Structure 1
């Protein structure tokens, strides 16, 4: 499955790429277009996941995604050594099994637009975890941004689909919290070969998702319902996830290697508006006042946090969900 890697094999996350970073005030035109393309893929992914879980259920969908992605990237993977593999496996369980499982379950209960907005709470959790775990400090402006973002989450409780399923809200919050912690653990993997990381994260997650698909999924959520699914939709969803989403992660890491990280991650603020637009146009999501106000408050608050990172030139990446 793995090829033996030389000690300093170049890769998407390699330290050699870090030396090529440019201290620029903004991204050049090419990287700006690439960043927008990645965010468009990630923003639309919420609606794609929603389409998938309505056909197969969350755990069956995850099993297929993890298995196919691991198979697709295994031929390009390199054995990282046991110490690195163990760290990758921990991140895989956190990011793949727990975060993705909770996210897919939330999308089974809520509209894709609502989940996309709620998942931005990962930035709030990331800053608070950095303060509690890594002893990172932040000033009153960042605290103000966190407060405004938290107020937006409260407003989101009034969105019709969220108000009708507080369990879905709790699942989205739990998914966001786990993702934030996974990104803290992922800082230890900054020099890992890109395809290796994707192959291991998905390969480690696959058996857990498979087990859950047999033990936790029932009725129209399990494998028994698979023959009745619309496999044209399922095929599109899997192609989107295995191909586009995986490629976008590799592209994102190249952007982070070439540019100041804080300036690249600013573009993640465009994800909720894109997700809302895709949900309204393709999924029939109602654009309510509560959704508009909640998303506006969350983005305003997180905008303050991201702006402070840019001003401080802080290169610890904010978590990005896809």
Structure 2
């Protein structure tokens, strides 16, 4: 793998890790509904501009239902749930919960899609659940009112990503950029009624408005472009390492900019979750990095 590819992979992880920081900053003013409606709206406009520049026209015919469903389960619902959870949970906890998406995908695969439950998969699921338990069980967040609902919301958001993975594998193949662009408009249509029912709760500060702008343009629009470029240039499997890098940046940004405490339970819980995720996805990180460097 070229040094520039490694740099882009780290940049993508840093951007997606920063999304939880931005949510934590902006949600007190905007509320979950308005914040995430703004996020997907800005991302949809950004990708529309990119589509015009690249001369990639979005074809809606026969795909409206697909874009709406993908937008709901891969963006609108998980974004909203993470924003709700951000009222109580730290950016560190949110980023680690996000990394459990493959674990939830495996659970859904066993329960609903006849995926066999191997010993490796069972052990990975057990590690994932144990890691989340360590992460939140020793955190002061569990003492807050409604903390249980917040943890369930964060886990539910990750579960949505797992469900979206199963859906996209079975849905009609759509070009990746069109999927990203169309699903943002689908997510916007899903979230608009929520935003109308839940307007911003306070006048946002400059920092909170900037966090919303960063969420929509950088953490969603630009991140999608980076992701698909990496899949094209180095392949889908090496790009999967971003799953393991996001919590590193999520924890770091939370500690650096929000003063969040990084205790032993944060590090041990994150490591346990990521080990479980590696087992569930069948990824050997050693072999994966060897494959990446072999492409250099």
* TM-score normalised by L of structure 1: 0.78
Q: Which residue of 2 aligns with 1:130?
A: 109
SS state at 1:207 partner:
helix
| Deviation readout 1:69-122 (Å, 9 max, x if unpaired) | 222323425243533332122101112221111111111221111111122221
Listed one character per residue, the Cα deviations across residues 10-31 of structure 1 (whole Å, up to 9, x for unaligned) are xxxxxxxxxxxxxxxxx33322
**Residue 209 of structure 2 is aligned to residue 239 of structure 1:** no
Does the Cα contact within 8 Å between 2:39 and 2:213 map onto a contact in 1? yes
**1:269, CA displacement in angstroms?**
0.6
Distance 1:211 1:72, change over 3 A: same
> Aligned match of 2:175 in 165, 186, 192?
192
Contact 1:126/1:180 (8 A) holds in 2: yes
Flag the structure with higher helix content.
2
Query: For structure 1, which runs of at least 5 residues remain unmatched after alignment?
Result: 1-26, 314-322
Deviates more, 1:272-281 or 1:55-64: 55-64
CA, structure 1 residues 128+28, in 2 after alignment: closer, same or farther (shift >3 Å)? farther
Distance 2:116 2:287 in 1: 12
1:50 and 2:29 aligned: no
- Deviation track 1:208-242 (CA, whole Å, cap 9, x = no partner) reads 32321232x3xxxx3362xx220343134313431
Give the distance between the partners of 2:189 and 2:60, measured in 1 at CA: 21
Question: Matches of 1:274 and 1:126 in 2, distance apart?
Answer: 23
Instruction: Say if 1:149 and 1:301, in contact at 8 Å, map to a contact too.
Output: yes
Q: In structure 2, do the counterparts of structure 1 residues 190 and 284 end up closer, same or farther at CA, with 3 Å as the change threshold?
A: farther
| Counterpart for residue 14 of structure 1 | none
Q: Contact 1:63 / 1:206 at 8 angstroms: preserved in 2?
A: yes
1:178-216 CA-to-partner distances (Å, cap 9, x unmatched) read 12101221233654251x33332222222332321232x
> What residue in structure 2 maps to residue 182 of structure 1?
164
SS state at 1:157 partner: helix
Offset at 1:124? Answer: 0.8
How far apart, in 1, do the equivalents of 2:18 and 2:200 lie?
Answer: 26
- Give the whole-Å Cα distance in 2 for the aligned partners of 1:267 and 1:170: 24
Aligned Cα root-mean-square deviation (Å): 2.5
Change in Cα spacing, 1:129 to 1:295, as seen in structure 2 (3 Å) is same
Once superposed, which parts of structure 1, at least 4 consecutive aligned residues long, lie more than 6 Å away?
309-313
Determine whether 1:41 maps to 2:15. yes
Q: Quick check: 1:294 aligned with 2:294?
A: no
Asked if residue 261 in structure 1 is aligned to residue 236 in structure 2, the reply is: yes
Conserved in 2, the CA contact under 8 Å of 1:69 and 1:202? yes
2:240, 2:117 → 1: CA distance?
Answer: 18
